Amino acid sequence: MTSEWQNASGELVFRDDWPEEPTPVLTEWLPDNEEPARPTMVVATVDESGAPDSRIQLLTAWDDHGFYFHTDTRSRKVAQLAHEPRVSFTVHLPAEAHQITVQGVAELADAAELEWAFAHRSAYLQQLAWQNTVEFASLPRLDRVSAWDAFAVDHVEGFTAPPTWTGYLVRPSRLTFWVGSTSTASRRVEYRRAAATGELSRSSWAVTQLAG
């Protein structure tokens, strides 16, 4: 299997033989977890009636266990994941003509990860975690601006996580890497768990080449 992408130095990388597990590709494609600019992804869930639902989220981080994103306990997606924890999301990396689609099962992240993730949010997103409520959204715009500024002044020392802050670890069962190209057809390379051990790099994966 042959593919190409730009590495962190901007050099074009050609791969003739994809690795047996997806961690090396994820390391090449995704920014380091400490980088403040996070990739966006579309997260798809299923509601109680079986209808699909989706929204754009930040990919907070990933590690050997899976992928993490964070939200508010009052959000619709939290209720949906409690009903059906199977989830899918697609990370779009347009500058590199890449996409990563993940299918897996979501579980609540542990307390240490939640603390780390909130500390790595920007000040704006930390404040948003406190004020992103239906009541706040219902205010007229000038009132929202005034209330936002007042809240920031009252918290000049910074923010701790609100009680509604939560997050999820998605343990993948399938990862699909889409590679665009200006010189030939796009393509996908798919990793499916053949025998899961609970960690990305310690699982047995079946690797398949697909049309783009």
Q: With respect to residue 33, please indicate whether it lies within any of the assigned structural domains.
A: yes
CA dihedral 193, 77, 95, 7 (to 10 degrees): -40
Q: Which two tokens stand for residue 169?
A: 């670890």
pLDDT at position 185 is 84
Q: Name the pTM for this structure.
A: 0.89
> Which residues 6+ apart lie within 8 Å of 160 measured at CB?
118
Q: With respect to residue 138, please indicate whether it lies within any of the assigned structural domains.
A: no
Host H or E run for residue 23: helix 23-29
Q: With respect to residue 80, please indicate whether it lies within any of the assigned structural domains.
A: yes
pLDDT at position 95 is 85
Q: With respect to residue 152, please indicate whether it lies within any of the assigned structural domains.
A: no
Write the DSSP symbol of residue 80: H
- Domain containing 36 — which CATH number? 2.30.110.10
Q: Which two tokens stand for residue 46?
A: 């299923």
Taking residue 109's Cβ as centre, other Cβ atoms within 10 Å add up to 23
pLDDT at position 10 is 54
Domain containing 201 equals 3-121+163-211
Cβ(18)–Cβ(4) below 8 Å: no
Q: With respect to residue 30, please indicate whether it lies within any of the assigned structural domains.
A: yes
Q: With respect to residue 126, please indicate whether it lies within any of the assigned structural domains.
A: no
pLDDT at position 15 is 56
Q: With respect to residue 100, please indicate whether it lies within any of the assigned structural domains.
A: yes
pLDDT at position 6 is 54
Q: With respect to residue 46, please indicate whether it lies within any of the assigned structural domains.
A: yes
Pick from 60, 109, 53: which is nearest to 84 by CA?
53
Q: Which region holds residue 122: left if phi is over 0, alpha if psi is between -120 and 50, else beta?
A: beta
Q: Which region holds residue 182: left if phi is over 0, alpha if psi is between -120 and 50, else beta?
A: alpha
Host H or E run for residue 195: strand 187-195
pLDDT in tens, the chain (212 residues): 345 555 555 555 555 578 889 999 999 999 999 999 999 999 999 999 999 999 999 999 999 999 999 999 999 999 999 999 999 999 999 888 899 999 999 999 999 999 999 999 999 999 999 999 999 999 999 999 999 999 999 999 999 999 999 999 999 999 999 988 878 888 889 999 876 666 787 778 998 888 88
Total structural domains within the chain: 1
